[in-house]
Structure 1
């Protein structure tokens, strides 16, 4: 399984975008839009490309989980994007370190289930993902999405 509970590498040498957003559906939609826009600025990837759609989907799922399962009233969530050499790392930090994401359920989710597909999507589209609790107040769920080789080396230069 691709899920890993490891601490990420130091970030000092990679381009980073980070922003606090409201823990609402509007905040989750904005996270998705901003992630695709940042990817376009860094790499020149078109909004309608497979890579952009994958980044949008993974960001939407992580943000949705943060506002649904990781929300405390009056507390925002943080979206952080990191441009790695061959991937984009999407991190969503929420305010419920006590609620760790479960492992994706084995087998298919029943079609009438109201939830439970988000982690399956992340597991399918991310090259790896995991969760880190760094303090008593927050947790970060992250996923790395490999970029298509046709967009260069991930450095933002084509």
Structure 2
């Protein structure tokens, strides 16, 4: 058994906790280990916060005012993708030197890399926008309804 969902969210700060709560609720219902759920929810929050802050341009309307979150739980791993309509990435996907620990900005991509097993950050093929995808091998609580067999 597997679960997947996709959200189309406005680029507003209030959308970040909504996506995080949906992910946490899905994982709790499925029986995913709470530590894994927490790590993925923090990584998702960081990816969403980046989409809200950087995912559009002031000169374009419509689609640049939204971003998409998709989550797949397949019994073995969880993959999350956050896609925006911003200008895309022109610099390396993760800074060569992480931001200071007391910095208010600039730590999100590094944090996602630390919390997930595999991370890919790149531009949408053929059009503007950034895709942040990451996955993590799942651990399960005893008697979890979705546990891999």
Structure-2-length-normalised TM-score: 0.79
Q: SS at the partner of 1:58?
A: helix
Instruction: Show structure 2 runs of 5+ residues with no match.
Output: none
1:21 has 2:21 as partner: no
Contact 2:75 2:147 in 1 (8 A): no
Cross-structure match for 1:69: 54
Contact 1:101 1:131 in 2 (8 A): no
Residue-pair matches, total: 142
Structure-1-length-normalised TM-score: 0.75
Select the residue among 77, 87, 91 that pairs with 2:77: 87
Cross-structure match for 1:3: none
Cross-structure match for 1:57: 42
Contact 1:77 1:93 in 2 (8 A): yes
Contact 2:93 2:121 in 1 (8 A): no
- Structure 1 runs (4+) deviating above 6 angstroms are none
Instruction: Show structure 1 runs of 5+ residues with no match.
Output: 1-12
Q: Shift of the alpha carbon at 1:149?
A: 5.0
| C-alpha RMSD of matched pairs (Å) | 2.8
